[in-house]
Amino acid sequence: MALALAAALACGALLELALRVTADPSAQELLRGLHRPAPGKGWLYELVPGARAVDPASGVAYEINAAGFRGASYPRSKAAEVFRIVLVGDSVSFGYGVALEETFADQLEARLRSGFATPRFEVLNLGVSGYNPYTESELVRGVGLAYHPDLVLVQFCINDLNDPLLHFDASTMLALGAVPDAAFPDPDTAATRRAGAGGAQMRALCDRSRLCRLAAAALGPVAPSTETVAALAPHEAPSAAEIAWLERLYGGVAADARAAGARLAVVVFPYETQLAPGAPETLQVALRTLGERRGIAVIDLLPAFRRAAAASGEPLFLDLWHPTARGHRVAAEEILRQLACERLLPGADAACPATGSGPASLSPSGS
């Protein structure tokens, strides 16, 4: 029996090797190859400096800079004439499905630079696929503040309230070890969520093997479990525990930013089904209330996305969560407008047009 088992394992290993040598990697494999574990760091995993992947379906290239992020690389030190914005977020900030220059971070920087003679604006995009407010807050504390930002932007997506294990696994397929209870939107149910994620983790292990994927495909499609569907469903009415979790994390980021001489704004992206007339916006109301309570600027993009959807049939989303290039453009314009209205930008003289009148027309003082 031992010999038979060893022979079977050896045959399986040879088949797996042959498939890896002869078959083209999938888009998921390519994107997962951009990540690595970050032992001992609060953000749990990170992007690999110098890594590169091209999505075979869309042709979008993902290139990671020497600092370990997508986009332009900036030195930690900051010149006196620079106003620096540090952005943290998940795959929405990372720019899944769109070219680098189409991401809202790059478009925001371009608009700021064209609108101001001084200061010089820099937008550092530290977005990593699969992150949630816990890993984002840890990244701000451990990396973001070292860039001496004047403003910190934290991007929120509805899936930030999902089971983080599903998103961490989907992004990395890595053994991350113990995930702190604080990383779960509802820490009281962290153990239950871990147990419920077992099936997803087993499927994730199979997904790493081309041989296992071929065998699974031969057996026919497998419907996702009820637990997985529930864990990934939008939290249109967040619980009190989830709002308290967000308030603790965002309050901590705000305090850290203030101590470093920076301010914080939370950018709330809508999801695709919210564009329908009469769709619930309970989450946006809860986050705006949280911001008022903690003195944190909350930039709600839902009204701007609804106006854009009504004005044109061109899609704003690739799927439930990820914006198209047009969606990123709408986001950049509205973020700029609301930053001006919140007086979070230097040198703007009342650069706050009425809602729906388009992006802010910046009138820098002294330019």
Rounded to the nearest 10 degrees, the angle between the axes of helix 210-219 and helix 198-208 is 110
Return the ∠ at Cα 239 (arms to 233 and 242), rounded to 5°: 85
- Indicate the pairing of strand 61-63 with strand 52-54: antiparallel
User: pLDDT for 134-183, tens place per residue?
Assistant: 999 999 999 999 999 999 999 999 999 988 877 776 666 666 777 888 99
3-state helix, strand, coil in the chain (%, to 5): 50, 15, 40
- Indicate the pairing of strand 35-37 with strand 82-88: unpaired
Whether the pLDDT of residue 10 is over 90: the answer is no
Domain regions of the chain by residue span: 38-162+233-341
CA 124 to mean position of chain CA atoms: 14
Secondary structure of 65-79 in HEC code, one letter for each residue:
CCCCCECCCCCCCCC
Identify whether the C-beta of residue 159 lies closer than 8 Å to the C-beta of residue 321. yes
In percent, the amount of the chain with pLDDT more than 90 equals: 57
The pLDDT value given to residue 331: 98
Q: Out of 44-53, 117-126, 340-349, which region has the weakest mean confidence (pLDDT)?
A: 340-349
Whether the pLDDT of residue 19 is over 90: the answer is no
Of residues 276 and 362, more confidently modeled? 276
Whether the pLDDT of residue 196 is over 90: the answer is no
Rg (CA), the chain: 22
Whether the pLDDT of residue 26 is over 50: the answer is yes
Identify whether the C-beta of residue 43 lies closer than 8 Å to the C-beta of residue 135. yes
Four-way CATH pick for 38-162+233-341: 3.40.1370.10, 3.40.50.300, 3.40.50.1110, 1.10.730.10: 3.40.50.1110
Whether the pLDDT of residue 231 is over 70: the answer is no
Identify the residue whose tokens are 């989907």. Answer: 170
The pLDDT value given to residue 179: 84
Whether the pLDDT of residue 327 is over 90: the answer is yes
pTM over 0.85: no
User: pLDDT for 67-101, tens place per residue?
Assistant: 999 988 899 999 999 999 999 999 999 999 999 99
Q: Which two tokens stand for residue 51?
A: 């890594």
Identify the residue whose tokens are 């709002």. Answer: 243
Average pLDDT over residues 279-298: 95
The pLDDT value given to residue 118: 76
Identify whether the C-beta of residue 63 lies closer than 8 Å to the C-beta of residue 33. no
Average pLDDT over residues 177-192: 76
The pLDDT value given to residue 92: 97
Residue 353's pLDDT band (cuts 50, 70, 90): low
